[in-house]
Chains A and B, each alone.
Chain A
Amino acid sequence: MKPGSRWKSAVCDTEVVVVRPPSSALEIECGGHPMVAAGTSPPAGLSLSPEFSAGTKAGKRYSDDESGLELLCTKAGQGSLSIGGRAIGEKEAKALPSSD
């Protein structure tokens, strides 16, 4: 899982990009199902798991302390993100004054 690689949800519109790769190989899920590499088609017949349906927001960063993985959501969707069934939370970002 390279930094900059892009992934999309198998069950909703969510798309993410890897900002910081995990310390060891893992699978990211969205809406309860593994995400697929952008540009490939997901397996058919899957549906959004109600347990993972809180939604993602474009421009939010999601990070997992355990694996070190950090993602940026590039397109919002209905599913929420997890690793092996463990939910990944939104990263708290401190707002900075505009400097450009």
Chain B
Amino acid sequence: MHTALLLEMASDAAPDRIILGEMEAGISYAELAARARGGAAWLSTQPGETVVYLGLNSPHLPVAVFAAGLAGKPFAPINYRLSDEELRRLVARTAPSVAIVDEDMLPRVQGVDGVQLIGSGAFQAICEDAEHRAAELPFVDPDIGILLFTSGTTGEPKAAVLRHRNLTSYVISSVEFLCADDDQASLVSVPPYHIAGVSAILTGIYSGRRIVHMPAFTPEGWVDLAAKEKISHAMVVPTMLGRILDVVESRGEKLPHLKALSYGGGRMPQIVIERALKLLPHVDFVNAYGLTETSSTIAILGPDDHRTAIRSTDPKLRRRLGSVGRPLPTLELEIRGPAGEVLGPGQAGEIFVRGDQVSGEYLSKKVIRDDGWFPTNDGGWMDEEGYLYVEGRLDDVIVRGGENMSPGEIEDVLRAHPNVADVAVLGIPDNEWGEKVCAVVVSRAGECSIDELAALVKERLRSSKTPELWVFRDALPYNDTGKLLRRVLKAELTKPADELASA
């Protein structure tokens, strides 16, 4: 099934409903469909085989997504925050391609071999042109819908392949068609090159919930726009939520229209979600766990799970706030050990997933197995009731003397200390234990006592999980979508030993 059919269905059923942009000057389904057809008519006559998008969030983005789809060309949104050199190297990999580029970014990618450039404004003019809109489109057999470059936290970005059938399978199995009321709107602040940015467009179109794009995230801007546009739904990455809460708290803003806030794209510190539940008690919080290679969400911790956990004093229920919930009913999910054996409740291993939405494929290689199972390279375990706990990338799990430890669990404990502003825990090679636990701490005003922090971990977890190495920094390295760059930290910490304070 082609993703363009999602738009066709909606524009057939509700042509006049405003689906994109602001309340006052929004774009209807019929207009979006007409623009996409106009863009597709032009794109299908261009030599480029892939449609690159280099630009900020705007209503132009969904138009370009559907135009590329109707023209039968993969859509490849690119990270504009890369350095010029990285950007040009990545864009060169898409050749032969046609690139839709925000006018102010054009000079950055001029003159790349096999890449034809068109400004975003010029492309919109084409989409609005009557002749292009009326042109007959060639029949296309849907194949690759989206090419997404992974964030490359572990090396050179890989191009993940998402086929139309993966994407539509995710949408039709997780969203009810036109389920949103006329007055609902969702705020999209994740960038176009993030899987959540792509899936927000597809599920937004199918649900009928007006999509309001935020060009570039700032917490003040987010709160302003949410109030002005009466935003009912939004998705944020964990770092965004923490900063939004700071603004909400300092302004005393209540966000009365906000009904649901989902979060994902990285581990949510428990202290942040607890604060969110306290500050915004009327909001339904949803933790969505997914990967680029799975066309977005594969497990959900729902609003009721959040409320039950926050009210409970039972540690088993309480810790569910650190869980990503249960797998979607349309998927199979297993935890497997090193020899490929399926593990039971409470046992940690690698998360495997199978289902129609799972692509598990890159342009360079297929990772998905012949039987459809995809090894996610994420470590995790499930409790007796099927709640999934993600420990992070397998390479990040610390193995000390044969014991597996999740950095996130230790980070949560340390972050609860009033003097800790931010913290990263990682494994450093050690001759005796294989790895030893190291904590990199950003302290708030004043001194942080190592003894006090160590005692906290010992008390809440156990002594083997207590960091043996403590490092203090002014800030931690993150990429622009809020993923901690552990690789960078680890490389720095395994170099000079003499500057580090050993506990």
Contact = CB atoms under 8 A, between A and B. Distances in A.
Contacts of B142: 4
Interface in B178-208: 178-179, 186, 196, 199-200, 203-204, 206-207
Contact of B196 (A58, A72, A97, A100): A100
Interface stretch (A25-33, A46-54, A78-86, A88-96): A88-96
The A contact surface, by secondary structure, is: loop
A96 B5 contact: no
A17 interface: yes
Interface in B159-194: 164-165, 169, 172-179, 186
B288 A99 contact: yes
Interface in A17-64: 17, 19, 58-61
B314 to A, nearest CB: 23
Given A95-B176, A100-B235, A58 B9 contact: yes
A35 B368 CA distance: 36
B409 interface: no
A76 interface: yes
Contact of B199 (A59, A93, A100): A100
Contacts of A4: 1-2, 142, 164-165
B329 A94 contact: yes
B196 A98 contact: no
A34 B449 CA distance: 77
Contact of A100 (B5, B179, B203): B203
Contacts of A97: 260, 262, 284, 286, 300, 302-303
Interface residues of A, number: 21
B262 A100 contact: yes
Contacts, number: 82
A96 B300 contact: yes
Contacts of B290: 99
B219 to A, nearest CB: 20
A61 B169 CA distance: 12
A13 to B, nearest CB: 10
B297 A99 contact: yes
Contact of A99 (B5, B12, B164, B264): B264
B328 interface: yes
B233 interface: yes
Contacts of B175: 96, 98
A98 B260 contact: yes
Contact of B204 (A6, A59, A100): A100
Contact of B5 (A60, A74, A76, A94): A74
A98 B1 contact: no
B310 to A, nearest CB: 16
Contact of B200 (A3, A17, A75, A100): A100
Nearest to B172: A72
B296 interface: yes
Given A17-B5, A74-B5, A100 B172 contact: no
Contacts of A94: 329
B13 A17 contact: no
B196 to A, nearest CB: 6
Interface in B9-63: 9, 12-13
Q: Which 5 A-B pairs have the closest CB atoms?
A: A59-B177, A99-B288, A100-B200, A99-B297, A4-B1
Interface of B: 1-2, 5, 8-9, 12-13, 142, 164-165, 169, 172-179, 186, 196, 199-200, 203-204, 206-207, 209, 233, 235, 260, 262, 264, 284, 286, 288, 290, 296-297, 300, 302-303, 328-329
17 contacts: A17-B5, A59-B177, A60-B177, A74-B12, A75-B9, A75-B13, A96-B328, A97-B260, A98-B175, A98-B186, A99-B288, A99-B290, A99-B297, A99-B300, A100-B196, A100-B199, A100-B200
Interface of A: 3-4, 6, 17, 19, 58-61, 72, 74-76, 93-100
Given A4-B2, A98-B186, A98-B260, 8 more contacts: A4-B165, A59-B13, A74-B8, A75-B12, A97-B260, A99-B297, A100-B186, A100-B262
